[in-house]
Structure 1
Amino acid sequence: MNTVAKLAATAVALSFATEAAATEWNVSVWGKRRAFTEHVEKLAELVSAKTGGEFTMNVSYGGLSKNRENLDGISIGAFEMAQFCAGYHRDKNRVVTVLELPFLGVENLEQELAVSNAVYAHPAATEEMAQWNAKLLMTSPMPQYNLVGTGEPRDELAEFEGMRVRATGGIGQAFEAVGAVPTSVTSSEAYQAMESGVVDTVAFAQHAHLSFGTINEADWWTSNLNPGTVNCPVVVNIDAYESLSDEHRAALDSSVPEALEFYLSNYGELLKRWDAVLEEKGVEKVVIAPEVIAEFRTKAADPIRDAWIADMEAQGIPGQELYDLVMKTLDEAKSGS
């Protein structure tokens, strides 16, 4: 082989090696880019930077899968990473639903992140997700949900009787316990449900009221009802994760804390602007009386928690241990230990 031929062969070999080293992942989320997805976007940015563009992520907003089918897509390897919410399919991610129990007492995003990380690291969570070929990568910490509604504000528990509310998971169960009628339409369908009168109220975190437009239909917003929140993991396909090179896996793992730090900072800015958003859109800020919240908690928190623990234990899942882990982690987060 002459020198030119050798050089050409070497160039081709190097080209193939470069192609082999490149990793491209598809990531399935939904809606549009918003505070809820900023850690996914930041993760993609960080991983690409750390690998010199060799490991890239294509974040798709609804183009790869419906939001209720993201875990199924991960299980069959239709894409490598996805975000989903536990309340969309409680039977598939039972362990994580401990974080959706009403009135846990979580006060801020940092505490929500702490309890989520503790549950995600529990062997029961790892084992259950492995059944879907999924690895829990990071959470999407959200503040406590609150209601927007139309008509006269509902600030007494008796006014929740018959109220049609878009609420999923433990929050839906909590409203049901006080006589409301929850429906679990997806976040993308919530605005239409509210506009058409299918629901009277919608329970969301602040970013979702903005992103999905429910705030534009609202006459009022409950500022302090705080019945709970939804837990929404970001997972990766186990086969895809394990097939990463050591360098690319290290880039991914090391970027998770940075992405979450960015998420918390970004979401914090949104919360600071929230009162201005309400004023701009002419939405009344409703403060629920402490005795009403206490009554709500009595009717919803203990019975739903006890039923959840019993149900999990009957299925061979350590429900009491998981609940105790959440409470212990929350106490530590509040005390700063």
Structure 2
Amino acid sequence: MGRYILRRLLQLIPVFIGTTFIIYSLVWAIPGNPFAGLCGPRGCPPSFVEQMTEQYNLDKPLPVQYVLYLGQLFQGNFGETFNGIEVSTLIQNAYPVTIKLATIALVFEAVIGIAAGILTALRGKGFVDNLVLAATLFLIAVPVFVSGFVIQVVLGVQLDWIDPSVGSDPTIGELLIPGFVLGSLSMAYIARLTRTAMFENKRADYIRTATAKGLTPRRVVSVHMLRNSLIPVITFIGTDFGALMGGAIVTEGVFNIHGIGGLVYQAINKQEGVTVTGVVTLLVLVYLLMNLLVDILYAALDPRIRYD
């Protein structure tokens, strides 16, 4: 296991370099002047544009720009915005909120989605199965911003059960509803994925063997059937954590949450390439580490999987 983890960590290096180079190229290779809107409608004087171009290494070839940026990144320096604010400071202020929001969404989708999938698989075709399928189809069909707006209006404005707008330093309780909205789409996919995997494993030979040996139905389901059925679900959940953090722009906008999504949205509008590159680079790291964690969990879920 130790050698496998070390090998995977070494494999992350070229993947990280390749993905961050593509991100950097897409952000900074966009045509146009990134400093056009800094000085208002009159435009910036040529001397200021020349100074900023030199400061952000935009006068150098793109590969050289990336190497210089990567050198700063390895020192923990995400760069500065055009206004002189450290990008690491912006991330430090916004990231904890998004982490809490994504974690709450992940808990909702894992607990409710897996429970619904197990329930429908064990009960078989019937009312519960049709109800879960209809509910998950509804969640998949309705966009997240629509469900978020409806919940905000109904629960926040009409019933006054929640605050329609989340504060600048939200608590776990204030993030429960936004987290449920953010994880609702993935919750539907997990429920269907768990249901399908459980149905397939119910007819497997090892399940019939375990039943023939006289094991209790609870042990057959929990120890044998569920562990193997959760392998594709764990894969989805692991990769979805990064997607939740990067895709929270709409949910954070609906509930006025000051997190990573809002930070990226503002940076794109202001053409702050340094902020966009820094945040997306951090999300790439989250994706890579979560994929590594998922691969390690495979061996714990399926005893047939061993890493030499």
Shared fold by TM > 0.5? no
* Bigger Rg over Cα: 2
TM-score scaled by length of structure 1: 0.27
Comparing both chains, which one has the higher relative contact order based on Cα–Cα distances under 8 Å and sequence gaps of 6 or more?
Answer: 2
